[in-house]
Structure 1
Amino acid sequence: MTGRAISTPPERLAFYALGGGKGHFMRVLALIRAVHSLAPGVKTLMVVPDRLLELARRFGLAAAAPPCRDRQGLATWLDDRLSEFRPDGLVVDVFVRGVLGELGLCRHLPPRVLLGRSLHPEYHRMVRGALQDYRAVLWAEAAPAELRDPLRVDPVVVVQELLERERARHDLGLSPDLPAVLAIGTGSTRSQQRLLERLAFVPQLRLFSTELPACDQVVSRIPAGSWLLAADVVVSAAGYQSYHEIVQAGVPAVFVPQRRQIDDQAARAQGRLGFAPRASWRVAATPEELAGAVSELLVTGTRADPVRFSGAEQAARHVLKTLS
């Protein structure tokens, strides 16, 4: 990552990433890395669910996880952690329960910045009032009319360097002479196993998963985005992180949107949230559509030149300036 260092950064920053999925974690991981690149002396603390605590430590992050789930218990625990850490500011990855729940019950919150992305419209209306207490609202996708003057940034993705196709294929044990499909596993282990079975017809397959046992076709590397140039076609849900990594890599893709309470994956998969793919892509809703779309793109799919999204650095600069 390049760019001018920040001359007078804050000393300590806490990051709230208590959302249920890995998308919250990965966005905040990308932001923390950018903060450390621009201001190496800043001490950071990442607040994550207990199930992601070990993953945070794998990435070398200082992290803490609450032992409870009720709002008052979470608020008390967060108050205690922040009192111990004494941050100059708190960065919140948008999560409706937290913004409207435990964060509103905390007694001594430091100045806050929100990092957001597209939600279903009714949730924008729900959180609008609570966001008045934030010093800045950063938006890393299409911003809704309900938000007042958000600061737009590019997509915030972890992957900054893509392995060349030959190197990526070698790393994944793929033959250079046969078409290859890469799938990014999300959701339950059962749904990931079904995806593996539905793609059994392709010449070469690798599924990125941290939930399924590793085998010839399943690899546990994370984030998957570094290896995407190995693919002739990528299959993925349309969650924020995987979608934008695929768009960044410029590889043909089949998106299988998952239903989420606040995340409109169908709109994202159709390119309606601000950053449409430049390579060939299809959207599939059934096993038959998935098989047909993969088969089609293996023959006719076209690639695009990779791009580099700089949203993490843009957001980090806003955070460091706002919370200094």
Structure 2
Amino acid sequence: MNVWQAARSESTGSPLPRILFFNVNGSGMGHLNRCLSYARRLRDRARPVFFSLASAVELIEEMGFEADYFVSPYWSTSSTFAWNSELAVRFGMMLESVRPDVIVFDGTWPFQGFLATCETFGSPALVWSNRGLLKEGGKTVTVDESRFDLVIQPGELGAQASETPLEGGGKRAVVPPVCVLDDDELLDRAAARQALNLPQEGRFVLFALGPGNLKDVAGIGHGLIRVFEAAGFKVVWVRAPISVRDIELPDGVMPLTVYPLARYLRAFDAFVGAAGYNTCCELVQAGVPALLVPNDQLADDQVRRAHKVADVMPAVVSACETDDERSAAVGKLLDMLNGNGAKRVGIPMNGAVLAAEKILALAAGRERMQ
């Protein structure tokens, strides 16, 4: 049953509030991951429905949520005006079908077609989930936050929960890091290796350098593979669900496609990857020593985020552009694996729970007004 059939078959008198998540399609899985993080904490207390610009809609459905897909502007051949016009029609149909109590948008900036449709529909409670830590001096688009009842800022590592008022009567809420899984859902080393059909003995390193949609990671990846293999590691390479092209892997490297990756991280002795928001939060949650290779072609400041990880757990930060940089970085990581500099600092990681409670409270407030 697709989202349209489900919406038609469900009585409009359902006791559960309806939360419509609109996630954009980014260079990675961050927008979709955060919406799923919130939706999972709302299960059985609300009816989460997704309108996704990310092509990995099957991941939403595998987690038990209804979803509909609309092509991202980055993959559309339409002009900006035409795409926003098409979005307004399709999203309007979604609103008519679902009739949500709350709409949650996760993206860098809200599309005009989205905002216009919300206004035309009568605007149920509106939430903007907007991750921060942008590069200084980067391109920004001014957004009138007074249009939102709630702006959620998923915090970086070490962020504490806080609230400040917005013009128009809404609130801005900073929450601690947002993770899709709870701590007790992460598999331990033995169980994770069994689930992935990896031998219990031996040293394994997991590579997750990103989908390669904006940055060619093949050269860095192949260079690091050689260094780790020379140190006696077996290499496993994550193929991102939204990747538009697969990197050709050397013989002996095992490809892996799983979601959510966090569930299986403890199967590995070490991790190599970019410093995206999801990755860094999940690494700290799982506690797997890491070599972080920030992607400098994105709007968010991955260098700063990587160093935040290194402040609270064993992690090395390096661009790994040359053979010398790669050898030095792997050498530092191996020292950490041998017990040198293995610091760990406990920090709050319950941002998804707090955000879900705030979304649910908005829905309850809207029901009281009706």
What's the TM-score bracket when you normalise by the shorter of the two chains?
0.7 to 0.9
Shift of 1:80: 1.8
Question: Are 2:281 and 1:281 equivalent residues in the alignment?
Answer: no
Residue 284 of structure 2: aligned partner: 247
Q: Which residue of 2 aligns with 1:42?
A: 46
3-state SS of paired residue (1:25): helix
Are residues 1:235 and 2:260 paired? no
Q: Aligned partners of 2:288 and 2:226: how far apart in 1?
A: 20
Task: Look up the SS of the partner of 1:126 in the other structure.
Answer: coil
Match of 2:68 in 1: 64
* Alignment partner, residue 207 of structure 1: 237
Q: What corresponds to 2:141 in structure 1?
A: 126
Query: In the TM superposition, what is the alpha-carbon distance from 1:292 to its structure 2 partner?
Result: 2.4
Residue 73 of structure 1 corresponds to 86
CA distance in structure 1 between the aligned counterparts of 2:269 and 2:111, rounded to whole angstroms:
43
**Cα distance in structure 2, aligned partners of 1:32 and 1:225:** 17
Which of 147, 150, 162 lines up with 1:136 in the alignment? 150
The partner residue of 2:18 within 7, 12, 32 is 12
2:77 aligns with: none
Q: Distance in 2 between matches of 1:173 and 1:66?
A: 36
Counterpart for residue 154 of structure 1: 176
Calculate the TM-score normalised by the size of structure 1. 0.83
Residues 310, 316 of structure 2: 8 Å contact kept: no
Indicate yes or no: 2:333 matched with 1:297.
yes
Number of equivalenced pairs: 307
The alpha-carbon deviation at position 309 of structure 1 amounts to 2.0
Instruction: Say which SS state the counterpart of residue 90 (structure 2) adopts.
Output: helix
Amino acid corresponding to residue 61 of structure 1 in structure 2: F
Q: Distance in 2 between matches of 1:55 and 1:163?
A: 19
Q: Does structure 2 conserve the Cα–Cα contact (< 8 Å) formed by 1:10 and 1:88?
A: no
Look up the SS of the partner of 1:44 in the other structure: strand
| Residue number among 32, 41, 48 corresponding to 2:39 in the alignment | 32
Which residue is 1:313 aligned to?
A: 353
| Secondary structure in structure 2 of the residue aligned to 1:103 | helix
Return the index of the structure with the highest Cα Rg.
Answer: 2
From the superposition, tell whether residues 278 and 305 of structure 1 become closer, same or farther in structure 2 (CA, over 3 Å).
closer
Once the two structures are superposed, residues 266-306 of structure 1 have per-residue CA deviations (whole angstroms, 9 ceiling, x without a partner) of 221121xxx66522111111243234212321233336488
In structure 1, stretches of 5+ residues that fail to align are 1-7
TM-score, length of structure 2 as denominator length: 0.73
Aligned-residue RMSD, C-alpha:
3.1
Task: State percent identity of aligned pairs.
Answer: 26
